[in-house]
Structure 1
Amino acid sequence: MLLITCPVTRSDELVADRRIRSVVNHPTHVALHVDCPACGAVHVYRTGRRWEATRAARAAQPAAPAHRAQHPVPA
């Protein structure tokens, strides 16, 4: 059994293991594709220590400045 939060209804749902459609092992996280009993959609839940570390590092980085197009300067 899994306890998930539905992103559509924002409700906590207890989900049976048979509702897991697929499990994908990535280098930084494990992705679970789960049928949601609240809204009927398939949601992806990612878990893993490296996934959380990567997300935290991205959030801590300052935003990159917007790229400005190079315009030729008239002579």
Structure 2
Amino acid sequence: MLLITCPVTRTDELVADRRIRSIANHPTHVALHVECPQCGAVHVYRTGRRWEQARTRVADRAAAQSAVDAAVVTARAARVGIPA
């Protein structure tokens, strides 16, 4: 049995193993394609330590980039003479 959260309805569902449609082993994660009993769609759930590390790196990069973007906007505004 698996406990999944349906991304469509945002409800937690207990799913039997027979609802797993396929499993894909990737270098960074394992992907489970699971048929959702709530909405009937097939959702992909990824798991693995490397998958979480990769997601963390991407999130950190995005946060750093948004900080740089904000600094650029502030610098441009100061150069043009727009008050902050």
Task: Provide the residue aligned with 1:8 in structure 2.
Answer: 8
In structure 2, what is the equivalent of residue 42 of structure 1? 42
Unaligned runs of 5+ in 1: 66-75
More helix by share: 2
Question: What runs of 5+ residues in structure 2 fail to find an aligned partner?
Answer: 69-84
Using the aligned pairs only, state the percent identity.
75
Matched position secondary structure for 1:44: strand
- In the superposition, the TM-score normalised over structure 2's length comes to 0.74
Q: Which 4+ residue blocks in structure 1 deviate beyond 6 angstroms?
A: none
Query: TM-score, normalising length from structure 1?
Result: 0.83
- Aligned equivalent of 2:80: none
Q: Which has the larger radius of gyration?
A: 2
Q: Secondary structure at the match of 1:54?
A: helix
Higher RCO structure (Cα 8 Å, ≥6 apart) = 1
For the aligned residue pairs, the C-alpha RMSD in angstroms reads: 1.5
How far the C-alpha of 1:63 sits from its partner, in A, is 2.6
1:58 and 1:10 map into 2 onto residues whose CA distance is 24
Question: 2:65 matched to which residue of 1?
Answer: 63
Aligned to 1:24: 24
Aligned position for 2:79? none
